[in-house]
């Protein structure tokens, strides 16, 4: 059974790190989600950071 890995999501527009979440270690692609950014005050694409 694979363990979960904590990741940080950063906004692609203002680069602020807003969210932390978990995902499976078995996935190799970087996580990309549309989330609300309080700094931009709108929904933007958030990508996983290192």
Q: How far is CA 12 from CA 4, 6, 24, 27, 29, in A?
A: 24, 19, 23, 21, 17
Q: What is the pLDDT of residues 2-48, one digit of tens each?
A: 567 899 999 999 999 999 999 888 878 899 999 999 999 999 999 99
Which pLDDT does position 2 carry in this prediction?
59
Residue matched to tokens 């931009």 = 40
Q: What is this structure's pTM?
A: 0.81
**What is the reported pLDDT for 14?**
96
Domains in the chain, start-ordered, CATH in brackets?
A: 4-49 (2.20.28.120)
């Amino acid at each position: 059974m694979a363990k979960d890995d904590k990741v940080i999501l950063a906004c692609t527009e203002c680069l602020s790190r807003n969210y932390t979440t978990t995902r499976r270690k078995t996935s190799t692609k970087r996580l990309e989600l549309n989330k609300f950014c309080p700094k931009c005050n709108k929904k933007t694409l958030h990508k996983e950071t290192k």
